[in-house]
Amino acid sequence: MPHHSRISAFVLDCKVDDLAAATAFWSAALGREVASADQDGDGKYAELATAADEPFLLLQRVEHEARIHLDIETDDLDAEVARLEALGATRIEFVKRWWVMQAPTGHRFCVVRKQRTAAVSTGA
């Protein structure tokens, strides 16, 4: 049976000491309420409100330069990582429960376990 995958989140990587000010800025700039000011209780992740059919919009406090990256969710982490490697992506690091990967274009992205209960589209 084929596995499934889809875009799960747009993640704003913020090189800041305090994520609260960044969250307030992006909330106002995008007209989105703050859904969670401290998602994991460690001051590293905040979430802005999105509709049920939209990808999550997360802010992440990071040490590297500011950028945006995609999270791709899947019901089979190993199969999706292998599929993306076959397309030319490389594994960078396993973090907690997900893989940080790099596309052949140099863009970083994460492959995460299924985040939402709605059906996901079939991966190619």
* Backbone φ and ψ of 83, nearest 5°: -60, -45
Give DSSP secondary structure letters for 18-68.
Answer: -HHHHHHHHHHHHT--EEESSTTSSSSEEEE---TTS-EEEEEE-SS--EE
- pLDDT over 70 (residue 124): no
- CA 22, 26, 28: angle at the middle one, nearest 5? 120
Mean pLDDT of 71-88: 95
Tell me how far apart the alpha carbons of residues 13 and 88 are, in angstroms, rounded to a whole number: 24
User: Residue 119 has what pLDDT?
Assistant: 46
User: Residue 118 has what pLDDT?
Assistant: 59
Tell me how far apart the alpha carbons of residues 89 and 104 are, in angstroms, rounded to a whole number: 6
> What CATH superfamily is the domain 5-113?
2,3-Dihydroxybiphenyl 1,2-Dioxygenase, domain 1 (3.10.180.10)
Domain ranges of the chain: 5-113
- pTM for the whole thing? 0.80
Mean pLDDT of 64-77: 94
Contact yes or no for 10/55 (Cβ under 8 A): yes
